[in-house]
Structure 1
Amino acid sequence: MTAQPTPPATPHTDRVRRRRPADRRDVILRSAAKAFSANGYHAVRLDDIADAAGVSAPALYRHFPNKYALFSETARNLADALADATGSIPHDPDHPEIELRGLLAALTGASIDNRRTGGLYHWEADYLHTDDARYVRDIVIAQHRRIRAALRRARPHHDAESADLITAAMTSVVASPATHRAALPARQISDLITGAAMSLSDADLPTRPEADTDPPPTGLSPTSKREVLLTEAMKLFAAQSFREVTIDDIARAADLPSSGVYRHFESKAAILQAAFWRTSDRVTALIADALSSSSTPREAIVALVTRYVDLCCTNTAMLSVYVSEIGNVAPAQRTELRNQQRINVEEWAAWLTRERPELTAVAARFLVQAALNVTIDLTRLSRRPTPERISALGLRLLLGSADSAGADSAGADSAGGSDGVEIGE
């Protein structure tokens, strides 16, 4: 019998072949993790995940009954990847510094391997149900305790609170490659970020104030209804998420009728977009202010860090929303916001390379992103460290020398809060 020729491929046959991957479930999970990491939980549609995975919507539903099932498994998978990474590092009581570096290198490697999905760590706890949240949190706590234990053996001069804080900052540093898209070979990223995280082990942190509570807020609130709406909306978005808050909720918080909201903003999305641009503008203005008060690259770096920390500490709701709700901004606006963020990072990096000419521009961007990530993560803790301590860690990362985190980074009269890191308990 004469063999029949293989029929030529058509768009239909290509589509059928593309929609039948052998590892369909894994492909769906990878596509979902990328989408959730980039856009947030609520902004992602199942149809978008199905298209990205190359499967039909009915095929996706055969594996996952709903979006939450997909989200919870992606979060658990990310936690498992981190646990597997550190689980391969042997306990070494006699050489704690080697163990500590090994743990940080392993987590850096996991972050590099999950650069397009690791952004989940910023906000997964906001959406996970109790059992899933506990599963992820147990892994995070176990890792924190192991890193902290190795740190305290390697650097016994740190007290418990300082070790807790430094451990949290180290973890934020090694996670930072998953929060941006600057490009370097994986080996260079690993060496740079692991070394930066390890440098925090020698950070000289300012002594925390004796008071264990934040000082009462000072200053006056704006009277402009538009500003009041923005302020109250950010508080609600941070506490409940963008999708859960209604226009009526915002109106009540601002002591306005619902119709009064629409005199200033055409929609809830317009409020979010305005708040995002307000945040972006403040970060951009901060750079100009820092440079205007500086006469050397080193002074510029100190001013940039301390001003950014102060901004984050006094605008925690806005920064929290900026991190977790970016996916609810229109794609074009999202692109513009991220472009402005890149410009700001490049400005920081330019001054860093002037102070440290041994760094390439790309390496400097990685360190700047790490310092920004540490600031955001530490200011979102329920027991926030003092601004002086956060600044000291940021300056240690950027300037690299032990004396950079001391007097330059903190004023004795700055307002302080209670110190400590809740995951270290």
Structure 2
Amino acid sequence: MTARMSTSTESARRASRRRPADRRAVILRSAAKAFSESGYHSVRLDDIAEAAGLSAPALYRHFPNKYALFAETARTLADALASATGAIAERPDRPREELRDLLAALTGAAIENRRTGGLYHWEADYLQGDDADYVRGIVVAQHRRLRSNLLRVRPTLDLESADLITAAMTSAVASPATHRAALPVRQIGDLITDAAGSLIDEELSTSPAGSVDETTTGLSPMSKREVLLAESIRLFAAHGFREVTIDDIARAAELPASGVYRHFESKAAILQAAFWRASDRVTVLIGDALSSSRTPREAIESLVERYVDLCCTNNDMLSVYVTEIGNVAARQRTELRGQQRINIEEWAAWLTRVRPGLSAAQARFLVQAALNVAIDLSRLGRRPPPDHITALALRLLLGADDGSDRVEVGE
């Protein structure tokens, strides 16, 4: 009996030694990675438990349900941002230096959380009550501190422009967490901090010519398949893929449910078609931009203008593309990301023609930052004029370039 008890006790001790002391932290890291890569609805608690190296019942001892885990993950990411900026000393007499230090700290936080920071794209869509207030409080405080320093650097800047430039800087420094391009950490930090810092001096036009008329929606397609696709994208953007049913789509398209299945075999097939539609439009705009350009700089300008127009006029489609990737089958997800990489490479190749001092890898990071800014700013509740978004994205790509490199292609 004593021997058996001794053996049992020793086994328990070995199990205790194997159990990580920071099990809750391990769970949160695994959850953040899963939510960041696949979105809220696609993640299963069993998958997180497996990734964290524990059983589902053990996970439930820490978190009662998926929402509780997601909320804690979002709070943890927000705390990391607050810690990063909180460590930066205030410099009332040197606002530009303080602003750069803040941007560097946020860039560092994005780099440190490259596998998990992508959930910022949709955290606001799913957080509730006190959780939403908590995360929003940190985000707002961070925005106000950046904006305050910006206004001290540029005291004549109007508040609306200051808010927009601040949002663009924040989006730019967050961009390393939205992709997996490779570059040494120090190079990423310097490159992205410098690019975001260049926005401080951007002069936005005061002309309303580029403003968006939110009431203009254009004509609707006549083809039933196109109607179904358009209504599905609208519903997915508004409510999330998982919350929308085939009956919802059929009602929106003014068809019986059976009519949906004559064009798409499932709701997943509709989402897949929507993703390829978005991907194809980005690919097509590259060809259109290049065919209308004579110099590398004109190519970059045309690429940005067309991409911003796509974001502003197809906001629902881009929103679905950003937030619902986890609901696409793994093979299709791989193919879509492969096409996305090809598109980024094309942008980066032309950027290095304009700025030959950049490496291809550095150009890819700047392109990702500019695209992230275009998407984020076009999704703001009060969407800014497209020409303002274009100006900010171009500044990220070109820096303080004076446009003197207008060399004909082939010269």
Q: Equivalent residue for 2:335?
A: 336
Q: 8 Å contact 2:212–2:386 — kept in the other structure? A: no
Cα distance, 1:21 vs. partner?
2.1
TM-score (norm: length of structure 2): 0.92
What is the distance in 2 between the residues matched to 1:19 and 1:345?
44
Cα distance, 1:16 vs. partner?
6.6
Relative to structure 1, is the Cα distance of residues 360 and 246 closer, same or farther in structure 2, using a 3 angstrom cutoff?
A: same
1:36-71: CA deviation from partner (whole Å, max 9, x where unpaired): 000001101111101110111111111111111110
1:16-165 equivalence runs, <5 A: 20-165=19-164
Matched letter for residue 303 of structure 1: S
Q: Equivalent residue for 1:291?
A: 290
What is the distance in 1 between the residues matched to 2:16 and 2:63?
21
Q: Equivalent residue for 1:276?
A: 275
1:150-299 equivalence runs, <5 A: 150-209=149-208, 214=213, 216-217=215-216, 219-299=218-298
Q: 8 Å contact 1:353–1:360 — kept in the other structure? A: yes
Q: 8 Å contact 2:36–2:119 — kept in the other structure? A: yes
Q: Equivalent residue for 1:423?
A: none
What is the distance in 2 between the residues matched to 1:156 and 1:306?
29
Relative to structure 1, is the Cα distance of residues 19 and 66 closer, same or farther in structure 2, using a 3 angstrom cutoff?
A: farther
What is the distance in 2 between the residues matched to 1:225 and 1:303?
33
What is the distance in 1 between the residues matched to 2:326 and 2:15?
31
TM-score (norm: length of structure 1): 0.89
Relative to structure 1, is the Cα distance of residues 218 and 271 closer, same or farther in structure 2, using a 3 angstrom cutoff?
A: closer
Cα distance, 1:205 vs. partner?
1.1
What is the distance in 1 between the residues matched to 2:48 and 2:222?
44
1:217-259: CA deviation from partner (whole Å, max 9, x where unpaired): 2642210000000100111111111111110000000010111
1:360-371 equivalence runs, <5 A: 360-371=359-370
1:185-231: CA deviation from partner (whole Å, max 9, x where unpaired): 11111100000000001112121418987264264221000000010
Relative to structure 1, is the Cα distance of residues 227 and 116 closer, same or farther in structure 2, using a 3 angstrom cutoff?
A: same
What is the distance in 1 between the residues matched to 2:303 and 2:50?
42
Moved over 6 A (4+): 15-19, 210-213
Q: Equivalent residue for 2:386?
A: 387
What is the distance in 2 between the residues matched to 1:155 and 1:18?
57
Q: Equivalent residue for 1:322?
A: 321
What is the distance in 1 between the residues matched to 2:186 and 2:371?
22
Query: How many pairs are equivalent?
Result: 392
Q: 8 Å contact 1:47–1:57 — kept in the other structure? A: yes
What is the distance in 2 between the residues matched to 1:293 and 1:312?
20
What is the distance in 1 between the residues matched to 2:390 and 2:15?
55
Relative to structure 1, is the Cα distance of residues 319 and 212 closer, same or farther in structure 2, using a 3 angstrom cutoff?
A: closer
1:377-416 equivalence runs, <5 A: 377-401=376-400, 403=402
What is the distance in 2 between the residues matched to 1:336 and 1:191?
32
What is the distance in 2 between the residues matched to 1:116 and 1:70?
17
What is the distance in 1 between the residues matched to 2:264 and 2:36?
28
Matched letter for residue 385 of structure 1: P
What is the distance in 2 between the residues matched to 1:359 and 1:112?
20
Cα distance, 1:157 vs. partner?
3.2
Cα distance, 1:402 vs. partner?
5.8
1:14-37: CA deviation from partner (whole Å, max 9, x where unpaired): x97997222111111100000000
Stretch deviating more after TM superposition (206-215 or 374-383):
206-215
1:289-329: CA deviation from partner (whole Å, max 9, x where unpaired): 00000111001000000000000100000101110010000
Relative to structure 1, is the Cα distance of residues 212 and 363 closer, same or farther in structure 2, using a 3 angstrom cutoff?
A: closer
Relative to structure 1, is the Cα distance of residues 18 and 270 closer, same or farther in structure 2, using a 3 angstrom cutoff?
A: farther
What is the distance in 1 between the residues matched to 2:303 and 2:26?
42
1:112-162: CA deviation from partner (whole Å, max 9, x where unpaired): 110000001111011111211111011100000000000010122321111
Stretch deviating more after TM superposition (275-284 or 182-191):
182-191
Q: 8 Å contact 1:19–1:56 — kept in the other structure? A: no
Q: 8 Å contact 1:232–1:253 — kept in the other structure? A: yes
Q: 8 Å contact 1:33–1:117 — kept in the other structure? A: yes
What is the distance in 1 between the residues matched to 2:303 and 2:209?
27
What is the distance in 2 between the residues matched to 1:17 and 1:193?
44
Q: 8 Å contact 1:229–1:254 — kept in the other structure? A: yes
Relative to structure 1, is the Cα distance of residues 402 and 150 closer, same or farther in structure 2, using a 3 angstrom cutoff?
A: farther
What is the distance in 2 between the residues matched to 1:403 and 1:165?
23
What is the distance in 2 between the residues matched to 1:105 and 1:219?
42
What is the distance in 1 between the residues matched to 2:217 and 2:339?
31
Matched letter for residue 382 of structure 2: R
Cα distance, 1:178 vs. partner?
0.0
Q: Percent identity?
A: 77
1:328-369: CA deviation from partner (whole Å, max 9, x where unpaired): 000110111111101100100000001100000000000000
Q: 8 Å contact 1:204–1:402 — kept in the other structure? A: no
Q: C-alpha root-mean-square deviation of aligned residues, in Å?
A: 1.9
